[in-house]
Each structure stands twice: as C-alpha cells, then as structure tokens.
Amino acid sequence: MNQNSDNKKRDLFSSKDKKTIVVGVTGSIAAYKAAELVSQLRQRNYNVFVIMSADAKNFITPLTLQTLSCNPVLENFLEEEPGSPCGHIALADRADILLIAPATASTLARLAYGFSDDPLCAVALATHAPLLIAPAMNVKMWEHAATRDNVERLRARGAVFIGPGWGMLACGYEGPGRLIESSIIVDHVEKILLEKK
C-alpha cells in the first residue's frame, strides 16, 4: 500500500463520525462465524448493526451479536418502534455498507427478485449503500444454474461478491461453498469504503 493510500486510510478511521456497517446474518451453518466478523469490525472502530433472519437464530443467538455489536439486533418488523434507531428504513439510510455474511442460496434468490417481507431484504431494497455478499452453502447449490443466474442478476445491479471459499463443507462435500475468512471480508469492507471516499 502506498503512502497516499495509507494517509487516506488513517483519515477514514480518525474521522469523528464512524462508518456504519449493517451486517445481515442468514440461516447457514456458517452463521456462527458472524460473531468473529462483528467483533473484527468493532475492533476496526466501525459502528455495527446486525439484522438476523429467522433461520440464522438456529445457529447463533441474537444476544451474542447484540453484545458484540453493542447495538440492538433487528430480527423482525414487529420489534420496530416509530423513530427507532434500528428500524429497517433508518438502518437503510444510515448504512455505509450492507454486508450479508453468510448469504444462503435462498437469500440470494430473495435479493435477486426484490423480496421485501423480512427486514434484511427490505433494507437491501431501501439502501443506496454498496452491497457486499459473502455466500455460504453446499457446493451443488452454489453451482446450480438458478443460483448462478441470481448471482449474475445481483452483480449486474452492483453487488460485490466475496467467496465462497473452497474446502471441506459441513455437509461432507468438498468444493466452493465455505464462508470466506472474516479478516478477508473486513479487508473488502475497508477497500470499498476507501473507494467511496
């Protein structure tokens, strides 16, 4: 990294107004890794808000992510209060990046076709922030033509994909489908913020 880029990075993180990363966590077995991801984002001095899908709660608790993010976790529309700082439209407006990690095949399909019946998809529709997606799923699901089409739809609309990584998957298959390492995801977040600046 050159000196000019180093200075840019220092300016970004010495700024009084912290950048806000909204992290969507969906129902993959890799959801437990969201704890490390949120922790690393907080260590880099970001303001982190988490949105969890209903299925994500089978793998990690909202309390864990609330504790690590130091902010309320949004789980459903019914929890929102008028003017609440974690209402889905307020989060959409506040986000500097919307990061979905892990993103399941179902989530990719819902995003590609503009569903808005859960808080995460609603934020994705309402925000102008860059969308960074880290997929995690079975290799056959990742390679299926429907998933490939959904990925291309989202890329055409500006979404950035990181991963999936290659390796042994929880289901016993080997191939692409692993959630990429948290440190690499955080590096991509910083790269996007620097490009925005």
Q: Is residue 162 part of a domain?
A: yes
Q: Return the structure tokens found at 66.
A: 């609330």
Whole domain around residue 122: which residue ranges?
20-196
Q: Is residue 117 part of a domain?
A: yes
Q: Is residue 9 part of a domain?
A: no
At 89, the pLDDT band (50, 70, 90 cuts) reads: confident
Mean pLDDT, residues 28-52: 95
Rg (C-alpha) for the chain, rounded Å, is 16
Domain count, the chain: 1
Q: Is residue 140 part of a domain?
A: yes
Q: Which pLDDT score, from 0 to 100, does residue 86 have? A: 52
Residue with the two structure tokens 């991801």: 37
Output the domain CATH number for residue 125: 3.40.50.1950
**Residues taking part in catalysis:** 171
Which sign does the torsion angle of CA 31, 173, 110, 161 carry?
A: positive
Which of the two residues, 17 and 147, has the higher pLDDT score?
A: 147
DSSP 45-95: T-EEEEEE-TGGGGTS-HHHHHHHHTSPEE--GGG--TT-TTSHHHHHHH-
